[in-house]
Amino acid sequence: MRAFQVQSFTAPPQIVTCPAPSPGPGEVALQIGACGINFADMLMAKGKYQDTPPLPFTLGMEVSGTVTALGDGVTAPAVGTRVCVFGGQGGMAEAGVFPAALCRPVPAEMPDTVAAGFQVAYGTSHLALTRRAGLQAGETLLVLGAAGGVGLTAVEIGKALGATVIAVARGADKLQVAKAAGADHLIDSTDGDLKTQLKTLCKTIGGVDVVYDPVGGDALMATLSVCKPEARVIVIGFASGDIPQIPANILLVKNIAVIGFYWGGYLKFHPAALTDSLAELMQWYVEGRLKPHISDVLPLDRAQEGLDLIASRASTGKVVITP
């Protein structure tokens, strides 16, 4: 089979031909239909992600595909079942093996390209906004990076939960994508000082109850100026490359809570939270309440191009690889 592998952290990943793996105890083999690319894949290729596997390894954290074989001790999902799985690696290939316990059946209404990029993006925003931030109907949600893989789902889920949503993104085209997902107010982060723009808007609509931040850096610092008392700031990631140092005195004076959130961490300490969240999201999709946005679907031999789209912030929503 072909796979897109990282063999060195000082050289780009490359397509290699290698034997198709056989499932071990507790595993299933998949014919991979599609693999969603995440920002973490780009970090992992450089050895900079917190869960980077030992070399060599195949990139691709989340996949959708069809079960082709069962390892010892596995009775489900049955051969022929379409599933999606967050395996952490191994997705950018024609086939792979993954833990059976992590596989989730895919609704017939959901194509592989959607299922492959659904788990991390929607799962992150749903669990962050419901479990960690406790976002309530009628509150105001501010989303940074609102046209990106997770940011766009935060806009959509925030609206589904009944919030007023402020979307911050780079450029008019990306803001239109956020608007189509339900954003009520749009701010172009390239059009002048972000802090000034936020203050001007919030003079009209009031302050912000929840900040959803996959960007970090100066953007996060700007949002603190418009947080209401008892606002919750959810730290999702640092796409800007800058990890902000937040002055504790601001948090104290305004009674602001800064809350960390790492979706993959729940696999280790509370997997049921992920399972329940994804079950609800799958039902929302079947009911037509979610409209996943995929900007690019690329073949395996263009996987590097997919990583470059994420790195340059040229994509909106998800980028998906189809082997």
Residue whose C-alpha is closest to residue 185's, from 215, 153, 159: 159
Residues 168, 236: one domain?
A: yes
pLDDT recorded at residue 239? 87
- Residue 283 in any domain: the answer is no
Burial of 244-256, coded b for 16+ CB within 10 Å and e otherwise, reads beeeeeebeeeeb
Per-residue pLDDT of the chain (323 residues; tens, 9 = 90+): 999 999 999 999 999 999 999 999 999 999 999 999 998 999 999 999 888 999 999 999 999 999 999 999 999 999 999 999 999 999 999 999 999 999 999 999 999 999 999 999 999 999 999 999 999 999 999 999 999 989 999 999 999 999 999 999 999 999 999 999 999 999 999 999 999 999 999 999 999 999 999 999 999 999 999 999 999 999 999 988 899 999 999 999 999 999 999 998 898 899 889 889 998 999 999 999 999 999 999 999 999 999 999 988 889 889 999 99
* CATH code for the domain in which residue 27 is found: 3.90.180.10
**Structural domain range at position 59:** 2-118+292-322
pLDDT recorded at residue 271? 87
Choosing from 264, 283, 300, the residue where a domain stops is 264
Written as six digits, the tokens of 246 are: 């937040």
CA 269 to chain CA centroid, Å, is: 19
Who contacts 180 (Cβ-Cβ below 8 Å, separation ≥6)? 293
Residues 16, 112: one domain?
A: yes
pLDDT recorded at residue 241? 86
Residues 258, 156: one domain?
A: yes
pLDDT recorded at residue 291? 94
pLDDT recorded at residue 50? 84
Helices of type H across the chain? 39-45, 112-116, 119-127, 151-160, 172-180, 194-205, 217-223, 248-254, 266-269, 271-286, 303-311
